[in-house]
């Protein structure tokens, strides 16, 4: 389903959009749509790149669990204790 949107722009902003659309030989509506979509995709990609180290570790762990790769709690606890005591 498509929808119609009314957009009110100041004259100077309209002129900027219109000039940019003409420079690309495209209708103004097409220019606005593709420009906004590109911006949204860019923001989403940037947010994905900015995931914290913890979130990355959690995502990797969840993926491993989904694949049947997991380690018993007692094994993890043992490794942590050895590292903490310097035995690594």
Q: Supply the pLDDT for residue 87.
A: 76
- Same domain, yes or no: 45 and 58: no
Whether the Cβ atoms of residue 31 and residue 24 lie closer than 8 Å to each other = yes
The pTM score is 0.52
Same domain, 69 and 81: yes
- What total of structural domains would you count in the chain? 2
Residue 3 lies in a domain: no
> Residue 29 belongs to what domain range?
9-50
Question: Does 83 reside within a domain?
Answer: yes
Q: If we measure between CA atoms, which residue out of 63, 61, 45, 41 comes closest to residue 53? A: 61
- For residue 43, tell me if it sits in a domain: yes
What pLDDT, in 10s, does the model give residues 34-88? 999 999 999 888 777 777 777 778 888 888 888 888 888 888 888 888 888 887 6
- Are 69 and 38 members of one domain? no
Q: Can you tell me which residue has the tokens 């911006």?
A: 39
According to DSSP, residue 9 is labeled -
- Determine, yes or no, domain membership for 31: yes
Same domain, 63 and 78: yes
Residue 70 domain-assigned (yes or no):
yes
């Amino acid at each position: 389903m498509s929808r119609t949107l009314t957009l009110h722009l100041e004259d100077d902003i309209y002129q900027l959009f219109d000039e940019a659309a003409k420079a690309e030989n495209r209708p103004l509506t097409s220019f606005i749509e593709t420009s906004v979509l590109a911006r949204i995709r860019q923001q989403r990609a940037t947010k994905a790149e900015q995931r914290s180290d913890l979130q990355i570790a959690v995502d990797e762990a969840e993926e491993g669990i989904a694949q049947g790769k997991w380690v018993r709690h007692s094994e993890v606890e043992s490794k942590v204790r050895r590292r903490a005591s310097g035995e690594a």
